Every structure is written in structure tokens, then in C-alpha cells.
Amino acid sequence: VIADGRDGGEQAMPPSPAGPAAVTPDAMLLAAGRGEERAFERLYDLLAPRVYGLARRVVRDPAQAEEVAQEVFVEVWRTAARFDPARGSATAWVSTIAHRRAVDRVRSEQAAADRIRRVAEHATERPYDEVIDETMAGLEHQQVRQCVLMLTGLQREAITLAYYRGYSYREVAELLGVALSTVKARMRDGLIRLRDCLGVSVG
Amino acid sequence: MSQPLDIHTLAGAYTLDALDDLERASFDRHLAGCPACALEVAELRETVARLTGAATEPPPARLRANVLSEVAGTRQVGPGKAGRPVRARPIRWRVWTAGAVAAGVLAAGAAVTTYLVQDRRVRQAERIQTVLTAPDAVTRTAPARGGGQVSMVLSPARDAAVVVLAGLTAPDSAHAYQLWLIDGGGATSAGVLRAGQADGARYLTGVRGADQFGVTLEPAGGSARPSAPSLATLPLR
């Protein structure tokens, strides 16, 4: 893999109308933590497509995804002072909150019962093929795509189903017909392989 | 609870929000004392955030105005000690592990009940977990008269059980479901649900001396003894 340093496409910045100060998610989140509402608006503009897109993937229903995205941004504003750039990027910080909120929504009690039923009904239909196709088509960034392709089939399926569909590892194990311990292990070693391939480091 | 050797492997599922709440809480405790694991999770979160680039979609335009107007009235919290995201709401304990255990004990594809218990303390959840993970745990399910079902994960060795009521007819505000342990001498109350509550999970002890478990509909607050035949019974032996 050709390492081109940072994942440039992910960090692309819009032209800054405010002046020369760098409008990066990190800088905007730090400023939002000091109560600067303008910085929070910039942060919203930078990350809203990502937050809403992730919520749409996980909860599917557009109205619920919109509610989730709103909850996420309000929580980001509320807790922005707790963001510490030494522990990770603003993009990862916000994405973590967004994914957690979306998963909370989709695993509410009725949804969980329905999903178990669906898992049982569709156990033989491989409904996850569609998720993987969707995901691969969306991975526009060459480096991310290459790294995802380097995963084994099981690593890719386990990560994709959990991340984009909000399935628990138990559900993933049922869907794929593999042992719980195998799913846990593939989620971890798959993410580690992705991390190494993308050259991600923290701190 | 979880074996120390095993917990390390949960980092991937933890990062993907693929653990249930009990496992998540135990991994959170593990993280607090394991800097290497905390670093691994931070790196995996960065990694996963790269994947979100695949899912971007412009939100409806009104979302921006809605967010900004809600934010204008929202007070910010201080930095605090931890520099990582802190959830705004308390963790919601789902006894949906009961569903997973039941799914394992029963044949795959059997109807499984799940239940959301809000704002339970870790200890309570762990008590339930000890039943669900007991080596001798067995699962029993019976349909309730009038709809819904009553399920139980029973551990004679721990002298305890977790009962899950799901989809029962909702009582009016003057009535409540009451749980009973029944033996040769009659029925002893094992707890009363809130008036009007149709779904719930309860942890019961002292099941070893009883022959049967039953559920009746009683006036709100419960009765000293069952005022009607059980809507559902489960054998305890």
C-alpha cells in the first residue's frame, strides 16, 4: 500500500469565510468547548453529513435518523469541553457519539425483538451482501477501500454488519453462523489490520 | 465475571458498539485500569471513524436550524477529568442478554423476549447476569392467557431466577401483574409490577423451595394471596 500520510480526503476543509484560521474539526470542537457558537456551527457544517449519513445507515428511517443526528449534535455541544485532542481526533470523537446514539435507538426493546425474529427468518438469505456492496461503493477513498479489501471475508462482514447495521456481535454470530468467540476475535483483529493499513495512531 | 484473558478480545466489539450493556460496563471498568487497552480503543475508534467517510449523506436543511436553536438553550458541562466522550444519559440496562441466553438454551429461532430496564444499577444488572450465566441455567416459557408470554431463566444452584413478562395485555391504572411462588402450602408473593405495566423483568430469589411460578392480575399494589387463577404458570422443578 502506498502510504500518502494523512487521509487527506477525510480532512478536506471548506474555504474559511472567517479568515485564515484553520477550520478543522479539531479546532472547531475545541472552540465550541469554550462556548463559541460560531465554531460549533462550523463544526456542524463539517460533520453533519457524516453524522446524519451514519445515523441513516444504522436506523434506516430518515425521520429517526434526523432525531438521532440532532441528539448527537446537542450532546457534542454540551460535552465539548471534555474533548481532548491528545486522545483522538474530533471526527472520531463525534463519530463515536453518533454511532452509540444510533445503536441505542435501533436496539430499543421492540426493535430488538423484531431483529431477533428477522435474524431467524433470514438466516439463510445472506441479507448482509447488500450491506457490503453498499459500503464498498461508498468507500470513495482509495486508501480506505484498499485496506478494507485486505480484510478476510469474515472480518469484513463482521465489522460491516456491526458498524453500519448496528448489530450486536451475538446477532452477527447468528447471521454468519459462526461462534461468538470467533466474531469477537474477527472484529478485533480486523480493526487492528485496518488500523495498521491506514497508519492510524493516537497520542 | 468475565475471564481476564478473554476480556481483552472485546476491544473490537466494544469499539463497534456491538457489546450488550453488561459486557460494555465490564469492559469500561477494565479500560479504567488498562492504559494499553485504552490506547488500543482510541486507535480503533480513529480507524472506524475513517469508515464513516463511506456513509456521508447531506441532512435535511431544517436540521441545522433545529440543532442551533436547541443548542442556544443548552448549558455546557465543564471539562471534567476524563477527556473522552461522556454519555448525556445514564446507561440503560437492557436485559436483552436474557434474550441471548434464552436463544442459546431454546432452539434457535424460538420467540425471544427482550426487555429494557432503565436506569438500573450495575449491581442489579450483575445479579441478573449471575442467573443468566449460571452453568445450570434453564429457560422456560409459557404463553399467558389473554396474550403475550412469560419466560424465565432459572438457576436452582443460585436459588434464583429472572422472569420476563412480554406482550401481556396492559392492565388499566387500577390493576397490576403480581408474581407468585407456589408450593404445597399456597402462594407467596414474589413481587408486584407497577400498575398498568405490561412488560417487565424481575429477579427472584428463594425459588428452590417452590414448585411453581405464577402470574395473576391483581388490584394495583398487589394482594396477599392470588384473587384469580394464574394467567401463566411455569414449573420450578
A53 and B52 within 8 Å at the Cβ level: the answer is yes
Among B58-67, B87-96, B219-228, the minimum mean pLDDT is found in B87-96
B13 and A93 within 8 Å at the Cβ level: the answer is no
* A56, A87, A162 ranked by CB distance to B57: nearest: A56
Interface test mutation site (partner B, options A74, A94, A96, max chain B beta carbons within 10 A)? A96
**B208–chain A nearest CA distance, Å:** 30
* Percentage, residues of chain A above pLDDT 70: 72
CB of B119 less than 8 A from some CB of A: no
Residue A44 corresponds to which cell in the numbers above?
456542524
> What's the confidence (pLDDT) of residue A106?
83
pLDDT tens-digit series, residues A101-143: 999 888 764 555 555 555 545 443 444 444 555 555 554 466 7
CB of B185 less than 8 A from some CB of A: no
- Where residue B198 falls among pLDDT bands split at 50, 70, 90? confident
**B97–chain A nearest CA distance, Å:** 10
- The chain A residue lying nearest B73, using CA atoms, is A74
| Contact partners, residue B134, CB within 8 Å, separation at least 6 | B155, B157, B158
pTM: 0.57
Closest CA to A74 of A46, A100, A94: A94
Chain A residues closer than 8 Å to B5 by CB? none
Question: Residue B73: exposed, middle, or buried by beta-carbon count in 10 A (0-12, 13-18, 19+)?
Answer: exposed
* B9, B17, B68 ranked by CB distance to A103: nearest: B17
B39 and A7 within 8 Å at the Cβ level: the answer is no
> In the predicted model, what is the mean pLDDT of residues B169-192?
89
> What's the confidence (pLDDT) of residue B142?
83
Q: Contact, B50 vs A54, CB < 8 A?
A: no
- Residue with the bigger pLDDT between B107 and B19: it is B19
Helix (H) or strand (E) holding B232, with range, is strand B232-235
- The chain B residue lying nearest A70, using CA atoms, is B67
Res B106 pLDDT > 60: no
Chain B residues closer than 8 Å to A37 by CB? 68, 71-72
Residue B61 corresponds to which cell in the numbers above?
436543511
B43 and A202 within 8 Å at the Cβ level: the answer is yes
> What's the confidence (pLDDT) of residue B169?
85
pLDDT tens-digit series, residues B150-165: 878 788 888 888 787 7
Closest CA to A120 of B166, B99, B152: B99
> What's the confidence (pLDDT) of residue B14?
96
- The chain B residue lying nearest A100, using CA atoms, is B17
Provide DSSP, chain A: ----SS-GGGG-----TT-SS---HHHHHHHHHTT-HHHHHHHHHHHHHHHHHHHHHHH--HHHHHHHHHHHHHHHHHHGGG--GGG--HHHHHHHHHHHHHHHHHTSHHHHHHHHHHHHHTTTT-THHHHHHHHHHH--SHHHHHHHHTS-HHHHHHHHHHHHH---HHHHHHHHT--HHHHHHHHHHHHHHHHHHHT----
Mean residue pLDDT of chain B comes to 76
A77 and B99 within 8 Å at the Cβ level: the answer is no
pLDDT tens-digit series, residues A169-202: 998 998 889 999 999 999 999 999 999 988 888 7
pLDDT tens-digit series, residues A33-77: 999 999 999 999 999 999 999 999 898 889 999 999 999 999 999
CB of B39 less than 8 A from some CB of A: yes
User: Residues 77-106, chain B: which have Cβ within 8 Å of A?
Assistant: 77-80, 82-88, 92, 94, 96, 99-100, 103
- Where residue B59 falls among pLDDT bands split at 50, 70, 90? very high
Interface test mutation site (partner B, options A152, A159, A182, max chain B beta carbons within 10 A)? A159
| Residue B199, CA atoms < 13 Å, CB-side half-sphere | 14
